Amino acid sequence: MLMITNMPLRGSRISVVALLLLVFGAVAGCSVNPATGRTQFNILSTSTEINMGLEAKPQVTEQYGGEVKDPALQKYVTGIGMKLASFTEGEGPSYPWSFTVLDSDVVNAFALPGGQVFITRGLLGRLSNEAQLAGVLGHEIGHAVAQHGDEKISRQLILAGVVAGTAVATSNSDDKAVKEGVPLLVGAAGQGFLLSYDRSQELEADMLGVRYMVKAGYNPMGQIQVMKVLASLSSVRQPEILSTHPHPEKRVTKLEKLIHDKYAFTQNNPNYGFYEERFRRSVPAYIFDIKEPGN
């Protein structure tokens, strides 16, 4: 039970009214995500999260060196992403999905709220087959569908609303939420830890990513291969993606169990491939010309 007294909050500018708005906004913002089955806190409407992602996209893209100027490559990556995203229907909002290869040596992949998915040239060039690429994109699609970024932004927005003595969480203005949320996204990208996730969120994205991979006809072991590639890089210098997607060793163990228990039928099955040759034909050689740190 919530008890409210008339005692002043000394040393604080937070009013009782603001606290009430925080509590009721938090309660109103709780709902069950159909993709994960988990109750989560999210105050963003679908239109708000889409507009937030679209507005932040140009600035985030610029911070990572812009898009790779290769229409054929962008089309190839987009095709894989859209195929995976097609299997999210009925699991959440309908997003205007987009998939972008960023012209950066940084090893990273991430998703903005509302379906904007990115992979850097630095990560793409370290992959060796299409199933691995599908694993990366599927994982980021999983973050978007599970609305992990929305959860984090919702908490930050409602906290900012209380500190300012306002109620962002209970406002009917999508424009205000977008205005407040975009700097959070862009600022995080500039500091290299765009929407870092906790262990439970990573495991949810892994689970969803593997689900979409299997539905699209990929061998889900491609996801584990990616994790091992990242682990090998961390022995020299931790790639940026591990700052935002932590706990790789524990995630590999969970993924192995998931594939063994639920998707064993995909192993040694020609219907679930890695498609290495198609990947090599579609990704130009210059992508694999990687400048390692210190060289």
Catalytic residues: 140
H/E stretch holding 79 reads helix 71-85
Q: Under a CB-based contact definition with an 8 Å cutoff, are residues 199 and 254 in contact?
A: no
The type of residue at 8 is: P
Q: Which residue reads 């060796």 in tokens?
A: 128
292 closest CA partner among 118, 101, 107: 107
Beta bridge partners of 102: 67, 120
Place of tokens 């990947």: 279
Buried b (16+ CB within 10 A) or exposed e, 19-53: eebbeebbeebeeebebbeeebbbbbebebbbbbb
260/253 Cα distance (integer angstroms): 11
